[in-house]
Amino acid sequence: MDYKQAWDYQTNLFQSILDIKALNRNSGDQQITPNYLLFCEHPHVYTLGKSGNEQNLLVKKEELNTVAATYYHINRGGDITYHGPGQIVVYPIIDLENFFTDIHKYMRLLEEAVIQTLKEFAIQAGRIKSLTGVWIDSENEKNARKICALGVKTSRWVTMHGLAFNVNASLDYFTNIVPCGIADKTVTSLQKEMGGPQDIERVKKILKEKLISLFEMELIN
């Protein structure tokens, strides 16, 4: 799905939940807020978070057409990242008041879902203190490499944006940026770690199951 199309779709769902919450504040008849878990892949695109440094895009924006990529400065947290084919992007558009009111816990559970998914492939992954995301060889400072980036926006406990998990993504595209503004670490993919392309639909299924379990969700559609 085109990035802008997905961003607009997310925004509409996000705002619809906020609208319900606004009505609930002034009404004795409380509506239950809906929650959405969106999975997609994007064409080649670079996105910069609201407080990110544009200098972390290492090529001129007008040259991005030479690599068939687009660019957006968006309203999530975090710095610059890449999305493209072979990368699972997950956008939870949820009201955390239906689950728990803790942004730190929310971020850690998104990471944990990816960590548990990788464990199904016998890959040990983890976290690095003060660096959001999921890392391979997280305890080895020199060899640590990011396999999943996170960036979210929240308002009144409603979330949008989410995580980007490199499965079969082309890592060449990351050479055009300083990924997430971290210059001394590299990125990787499940394909690279496993030594060959992976069944991305299988990975999506496992990841979805982990998210549902960790958040104690009931999938109804």
Annotated catalytic residues are: 180
d(CA 92, CA 101): 15
SS (H, E, C) the chain: CCHHHHHHHHHHHHHHHHHHHHHHHCCCCCCCCCCEEEEECCCCEEEECCCCCHHHECCCHHHHHHHCCEEEECCCCCCEEEECCCEEEEEEECEHHHCCCCHHHHHHHHHHHHHHHHHCCCCCEEEECCEEEEEECCCCCCCCEEEEEEEEEEECCEEEEEEEEECCCCHHHHHHECHHHCCCCEECCHHHHHCCCCCHHHHHHHHHHHHHHHHCCCCCC
CB atoms under 10 Å from CB of 173, counted, come to 20
- Structure tokens that stand for 36 in this block: 């959405």
d(CA 32, CA 29): 10
